[in-house]
Amino acid sequence: MAAPIIEARAIHKHFGALHVLKGVDLQVAERELVFVIGPSGSGKSTLLRCLNRLETPASGSVVVDGIDLLARATDINRARQRIGMVFQSFNLYPHMTALGNVTLALRKVAGKTAAEAEALGLAALDRVGLRDRAGHTPGQLSGGQAQRVAIARAIALEPRVMLFDEPTSALDPELVGSVLAVMRELRQDGMTMVVVSHEMGFARAAADRVVFMDDGQIVEQGAPAAIFEAPQEARTRAFIGQIQRH
């Protein structure tokens, strides 16, 4: 295996008295799709947010694409261009059109001219199948469309890795498919992805590895079939049993 593109080591994170991450190690190889599952409060979202320093770990190290995110000298804004993130609640900018959402960072961070940014933005919207919605504002989009615009906003910067924080949890069931289809295409294009989600069907079909977290630690990880069909740990079995009953 080549050197991992994401390498998090011994991450600890506290929220006040709460010890949310208790020494988590996570390596992700290039082109790998890693699914992180676990009960709510297990620390999986916090772990994901440590991978682009939206949360700063108390100790440990996070290296993404060769950049030490926790080093003082690191320009975090430059580093974040290489790390796309998609949020549960989309977080589109409501005062801008879909195209405006996608081009803002292209113009202000990547230093593209307005014309270059527009061309790249339209191309990104095209990739998520929403080029014809470029002029719509977020309020005029369905949840599924909004989340795809959010994905376009992230991939327009040509990131090396993509982080997904429960990307389909806020969607009506009939809209989930369109978002997963876009994620599947990203996967086929070789994007490295870390996904916090409970879309087990998608995990089975697309993930290289499933990581099960509980109580701030990684309890068990392995191929999807191994984790879902033959979990070794009691906590994993209990969790898998629970979500499969639903």
Residue choice 52, 97, 168, 178 for contact with another protein (CB under 8 A):
52
Question: Please, what is the angle between helix 98-108 and helix 143-155, to 10°?
Answer: 20
**DSSP of 74-90, one letter per residue?**
--HHHHHHTEEEE-TT-
Closest to another protein by CB, 36 or 106: 106
**How many other CB atoms sit within 10 Å of the CB of residue 144?**
22
Report, in Å, the least distance between residue 92 CB and another protein: 8
Whole-number Å distance between alpha carbons of 173 and 87: 17
Whole-number Å distance between alpha carbons of 32 and 221: 14
Residue 231 engages another protein in binding (rule: CB under 8 A) = no
Report, in Å, the least distance between residue 108 CB and another protein: 5
Give the DSSP letter of residue 31: T
Q: What are the CA-CA distances from residue 60 to residues 7, 12, 26, 34, 56 (Å)?
A: 11, 6, 11, 20, 10
Residue 195 engages another protein in binding (rule: CB under 8 A) = no
Residue choice 13, 44, 80, 148 for contact with another protein (CB under 8 A):
80
Task: Convert residues 121-140 into a mask of x (bound to another protein by CB under 8 A) and - (unbound).
Answer: ------------------x-
Residue choice 37, 85, 191, 193 for contact with another protein (CB under 8 A):
85
Residues in the interface with another protein (CB under 8 A) total 27
Residue 47 and residue 21 in contact, taking contact as beta carbons nearer than 8 Å: yes
Residue 169 engages another protein in binding (rule: CB under 8 A) = no
Binding residues vs another protein (CB under 8 A): 52, 54, 77-81, 83-85, 87, 89, 91-95, 104-105, 108-110, 139, 150, 153-154, 157
